[in-house]
Amino acid sequence: MTEYFVPTGASETELVEKRSRFLGHVWPVESEEEARARIEEIRKKHYDARHHCWCYRIREGGVERYSDDGEPQGTAGQPMLNVFQRENVNDVVCVVTRYFGGILLGAGGLVRAYSAAAKDALDGAGISVVRRWVAMEVPCTYAQFEGMRREIGSFGGVVEAVDYGVDVVLSALLPEERAEDFAAHILDVSAGTVEALEAGEAFKDVPWRLPTADES
C-alpha cells in the first residue's frame, strides 16, 4: 500500500514574537524548480524583510532542502523542516519571512518562533492523504443516514457526496484494503437492508486534516 501526505492547499499566516513578525507561507509543489520559484516569489514580495528562511520536501527522489538565510545556523531552516518531517508531509515548500522587531530572541527563541510559524502555516494549509481508494455507493433510508456516515468514518473512509432523494445515497471513498470488510460490516449491522456497492477505484489526495483559520 502506498500512502503519503501532502498539503491540501496554500496558506499564509502571521506570528508575532517580541515585536518580530514571522510571516509563514506553505504551498503544495511537485518539483524543486516549483519550490524555488515560490521562494523567489516571497523574496520579491517582501523585499524589505531581513530574513526569508525556507525548507522543502519533494517525495520523488527523497529531496529535502532548507536555508537559515542569515539567521544563526540551525535556528530556522532545520527546525522548520522538522515540522514537516514529524507530520510526514511531502511535496511541500514553506517560507517564513521575518521582519525584525528590534529585540533579539536568542537561539532558543528563534527555533521556537520559526517552528511555530511553520506549524501555523501547515495547519492553515491542511493536510491531505494520497492513496488508492475504492469508490462505494451506500444507499440507505434517512433514519440510517447518520449511522452509515459514522460507519464510513470508522473504516477510515470519507463521504464525497450525498444524494437526497426518496432515500439517501452516500458516495464514499474507502481505503482499498478495508473496502471489502466495510461492505460486509454494513450488510451485517443493517441486518441486510443496506448494501455498499463498489463504483470504481481512484488514486488521489483526500483531505485528512482540515485547514485551521488564521486567528492572528
Q: What is the mean pLDDT of each run of 10 residues along the chain (216 residues)?
A: 89 93 97 97 95 97 96 96 96 96 88 96 95 96 96 94 96 95 96 95 85 54
| pLDDT confidence of residue 38 | 98
Residues 6+ away with beta carbon under 8 Å from 27: 7, 10, 38, 92, 93, 125
Residues 6+ away with beta carbon under 8 Å from 18: 101, 103, 105, 109
3-state secondary structure of 201: strand
| pLDDT confidence of residue 64 | 97
> Residue holding cell 511553520?
118
Could you give the dihedral angle defined by the CA atoms of residues 173, 160, 121 and 13, in that order, rounded to the nearest 10 degrees?
180
By the 8 A CB rule, do 83 and 121 touch?
A: no
| pLDDT confidence of residue 26 | 98
Q: Which three cell numbers stand for residue 51?
A: 530574513
Question: Given phi > 0 = left and psi -120 to 50 = alpha, else beta, which region is 19?
Answer: left
> Residue holding cell 432515500?
167
By the 8 A CB rule, do 92 and 128 touch?
A: no
Which domains does the chain show, CATH number per domain?
Answer: 4-125 (3.30.230.30), 131-209 (3.30.70.240)
**Length of the chain, in residues:** 216
| pLDDT confidence of residue 214 | 45
Q: Nearest Cα to 108, choosing from 68, 67, 74, 81?
A: 74
Question: What is the rounded distance in angstroms from the CA atom of residue 189 to the CA atom of residue 186?
Answer: 5
